[in-house]
C-alpha cells in the first residue's frame, strides 16, 4: 500500500468512525427520548381519560338525582309502581346521554343482568354474570365489585360497537344501591395506540433526517479530504517529476563525466602507449635492430595493465568470482599501489555469499567513498572494514556493515553538498544505491576530525534480496 493511500486512509477512517459513533449515539438518544415521550403521552392520555369518565358519570348521576332522591319516600308509601316508573324514566334519560360514536352509558343490576345498553340493545335482559373476556377475566363481576366498593376504574376488554372488534376499554362505574343498579360508562383505548403510532412515525422521520444530515456531513468531509489529498498528490507529483528530471540530468552528467574520464584514460594512457609501441616496432623492422623489441614488449605490458585497471574500475571480475571481500581487498590494494592513499581492509565475522545486487551496491559505495577521500580528504590513511553480523537465535543470517574511515580534513556534510555539487552527487549516489536495497548511509564528519561512512544493510533486506537476486 502506497504511503499517500495510507495517509488518506489515516485521515478518512477516524472521520468516518467518529461520524458512525455519533450516528449510533444519536439513534440511541432518539430511542430513549421516544420511550420517555411514550410514557409521558400515555400517562397524560390516561389521566385525561380518567377525569373525563369520572365527569361523565357524575353528570349522569346528577341528571338522575331528582328521580333517585324520591325513591325512599315512595317506597315508604308503598308505591312500587311509581319507583319502577322512575327507573324507566332514568333508563330513558341515560340512553339519551350518548357522547361520540362509541361513548355511551350502561346499567346492570347488581346480579349481572343488563338493564340498559344503548349501543348493544340485544344484550338488554341478558344475565352476563359469568361473562369472561378473551383473557379469561370475569368482566361483569369486576365491574360490579368495583361499583360496590365505592366506585372506580376498571380495565377490561369489550367489543367495540363501531368496528365489532374486541378492544381495550377503561370503564368507570358507581353503584346505586337503592335501585340495585350499577351505572357506568367507558372509553376505548385504541385511540392512544394511534397517537403513539403517530408519535413513532414522527420520531422515525426525525431520526431519518438526522441520519441523512450526518451522512451529508460525512460525504462532505470525505470529499473535502479527498480533494485536499488530490491537490497534495498533484503537488507532490509535480515536485517528484521535477526531482526526477533533475536526477536524470545528474545521471546524464555522471555518465558523460565517466565517458570523458574513460576517453582521457584511453587517449592519454593506453592510446599513447600503443602508439609508442607501434613506433618502436616499426623502427625495429626498418633498422633490423632487435634491441628495440624488449622496450616494445614492455610498453604492451603497460597497455595491458592499464586496460585491466580500466576494466576493473568498470566492474571487477573478482566481484563475480570470489565475492565482495576479495573485490574490496583488490580495490584497497589498487588505491594503495596507485599512491593515492594507503588503504587497509578488515573483514569481521563469518563471510558469506551475498546477493549479486548487494555485492554491486556495496562495492560501488566503497569505490565512491575512496574516490572522494583521494580527491578531497587529504588523508594519510584510510581504514575500510566489512562486518558480517552473527546469525539471530533462529539461525537466520544477520546484516552487513561496510565502514570507510579516514583521518583527513573532514567537512560539514550540509555545507559540502551545497558548495561542491560533485561531492553532493557522490553522497546522493551512495544514499540512493543503498536505498534501492533497503539499506542506509550514515555519514559522520566534521572539519579537522576526519570522516566516517557506514553503509548498513539489515538482515530483513538481505533476505528479501536473496529471494529476488540470488547470490552470484
Distance CA 456, CA 389 (A): 11
The candidate with the shortest Cα–Cα distance to 314, out of 359, 355, 268, 363, is 363
What is the tens place of the pLDDT at every residue in 260-273?
666 666 666 666 67
Distance CA 75, CA 217 (A): 82
pLDDT of res. 242: 77
Q: Which three cell numbers stand for residue 407?
A: 583521518
What are the 10-residue block averages of pLDDT along the chain, 472 residues in total? 67 77 80 79 82 90 87 56 86 85 90 91 92 91 93 92 87 92 90 75 80 82 77 77 71 62 63 70 70 71 67 61 81 75 85 82 85 78 88 82 85 63 68 84 82 88 75 46
pTM strictly above 0.85 = no
Tell the residue number behind the cell numbers 491537490, with chain if given.
231
pLDDT of res. 308: 60
Q: Which residues lie closer than 8 Å to 232 by C-beta, 6 or more apart?
A: 4
Distance CA 172, CA 176 (A): 14
Distance, first Cα to last Cα, the chain: 31
| 2, 48, 283, 435 from 239: Cα distances, Å | 17, 76, 64, 20
| DSSP β-bridge partners for residue 346 | 385
Q: At what angle do helices 3-77 and 190-265 cross, to 10 degrees?
A: 180
pLDDT of res. 300: 73
Distance CA 148, CA 50 (A): 19
CB 115 within 8 A of CB 107: yes
Distance CA 441, CA 49 (A): 87
CA 151 to chain centre: 66
Question: HEC string of the chain?
Answer: CCHHHHHHHHHHHHHHHHHHHHHHHHHHHHHHHHHHHHHHHHHHHHHHHHHHHHHHHHHHHHHHHHHHHHHHHHHHHCCHHHHHHHHHHHHHHHHCCCCCCCCCEEEEECCCEEEEECCCHHHCCCECCCCECCCCCEHHHHHHHHHHCCCEEEEEEEECCCCCCEEEEEEEEEEEHHHCEEEEEEEECHHHHHHHHHHHHHHHHHHHHHHHHHHHHHHHHHHHHHHHHHHHHHHHHHHHHHHHHHHHHHHHHHHHHHHHHHHHHHHHHHHHHHHHHHHHHHHHHHHCCCCHHHHHHHHHHHHHHHHHHHHHHHCCHHHHHCCHHHHHHHHHHHHHHCCCCCEEEEEECCCCCCEHHHHHHHHHHHHHHHHHHHHHHCCCCEEEEEEECCCCCCCCCCCEEEEEEECCCCCCHHHHHHHCHHHHHHHHHHHHHHHCCCCEEEEEECCCCCEEEEEEECHHHHHHHHHHCCEC
Please state the length of the chain. 472
Distance CA 197, CA 15 (A): 35
pLDDT of res. 339: 65
Q: Which three cell numbers stand for residue 234?
A: 498533484
Q: Which residues lie closer than 8 Å to 392 by C-beta, 6 or more apart?
A: 398, 459
pLDDT of res. 314: 60
Q: Which three cell numbers stand for residue 169?
A: 376499554
Tell the residue number behind the cell numbers 368482566, with chain if given.
139
pLDDT of res. 76: 47
Amino acid at each position: 500500500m502506497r504511503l499517500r493511500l495510507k495517509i488518506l486512509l489515516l485521515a478518512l477512517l477516524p472521520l468516518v468512525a467518529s461520524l458512525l459513533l455519533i450516528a449510533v449515539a444519536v439513534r440511541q438518544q432518539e430511542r430513549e427520548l421516544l420511550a420517555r415521550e411514550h410514557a409521558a403521552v400515555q400517562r397524560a392520555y390516561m389521566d385525561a381519560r380518567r377525569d373525563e369518565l369520572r365527569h361523565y358519570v357524575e353528570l349522569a348521576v346528577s341528571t338522575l338525582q331528582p328521580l333517585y332522591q324520591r325513591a325512599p319516600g315512595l317506597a315508604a308509601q308503598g308505591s312500587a309502581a311509581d319507583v319502577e316508573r322512575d327507573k324507566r324514566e332514568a333508563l330513558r334519560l341515560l340512553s339519551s346521554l350518548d357522547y361520540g360514536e362509541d361513548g355511551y352509558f350502561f346499567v346492570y343490576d347488581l346480579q349481572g343482568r343488563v338493564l340498559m345498553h344503548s349501543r348493544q340493545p340485544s344484550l338488554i335482559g341478558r344475565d352476563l354474570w359469568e361473562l369472561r373476556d378473551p383473557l379469561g377475566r370475569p368482566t361483569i363481576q369486576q365491574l360490579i365489585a368495583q361499583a360496590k366498593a365505592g366506585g372506580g376504574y376498571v380495565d377490561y376488554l369489550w367489543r367495540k360497537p363501531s368496528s365489532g372488534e374486541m378492544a381495550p376499554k377503561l370503564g368507570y362505574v358507581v353503584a346505586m344501591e337503592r335501585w340495585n343498579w350499577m351505572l357506568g360508562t367507558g372509553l376505548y383505548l385504541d385511540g392512544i395506540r394511534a397517537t403513539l403510532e403517530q408519535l413513532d412515525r414522527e420520531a422515525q422521520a426525525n431520526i431519518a433526517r438526522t441520519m441523512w444530515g450526518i451522512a451529508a456531513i460525512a460525504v462532505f468531509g470525505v470529499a473535502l479530504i479527498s480533494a485536499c489529498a488530490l491537490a497534495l498528490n498533484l503537488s507532490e507529483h509535480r515536485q517528484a517529476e521535477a526531482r526526477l528530471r533533475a536526477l536524470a540530468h545528474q545521471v546524464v552528467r555522471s555518465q558523460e563525466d565517466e565517458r570523458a574520464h574513460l576517453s582521457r584514460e584511453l587517449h592519454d594512457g593506453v592510446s599513447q602507449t600503443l602508439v609508442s609501441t607501434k613506433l618502436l616496432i616499426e623502427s625495429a623492422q626498418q633498422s633490423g635492430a632487435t634491441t628495440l623489441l624488449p622496450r616494445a614488449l614492455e610498453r604492451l605490458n603497460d597497455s595491458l595493465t592499464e586496460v585491466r585497471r580500466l576494466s576493473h574500475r568498470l566492474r571487477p571480475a573478482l566481484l563475480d568470482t570470489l565475492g565482495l571481500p576479495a573485490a574490496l581487498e583488490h580495490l584497497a590494494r589498487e588505491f594503495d599501489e596507485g599512491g593515492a592513499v594507503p588503504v587497509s581492509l578488515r573483514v569481521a565475522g563469518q563471510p558469506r555469499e551475498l546477493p549479486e545486487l548487494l555485492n554491486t551496491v556495496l562495492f560501488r559505495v566503497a569505490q565512491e567513498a575512496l574516490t572522494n577521500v583521494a580527491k578531497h580528504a587529504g588523508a594519510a590513511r584510510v581504514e575500510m572494514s566489512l562486518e558480517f553480523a552473527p546469525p539471530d537465535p533462529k539461525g537466520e543470517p544477520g546484516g552487513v556493515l561496510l565502514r570507510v574511515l579516514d583521518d583527513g580534513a573532514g567537512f560539514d556534510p550540509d555545507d559540502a553538498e551545497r558548495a561542491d555539487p560533485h561531492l553532493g552527487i557522490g553522497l546522493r549516489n551512495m544514499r540512493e544505491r543503498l536505498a534501492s536495497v533497503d539499506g542506509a548511509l550514515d555519514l559522520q564528519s566534521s572539519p579537522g576530525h576526519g570522516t566516517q561512512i557506514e553503509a548498513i544493510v539489515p538482515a530483513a533486506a538481505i533476505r528479501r534480496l536473496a529471494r529476488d537476486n540470488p547470490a552470484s
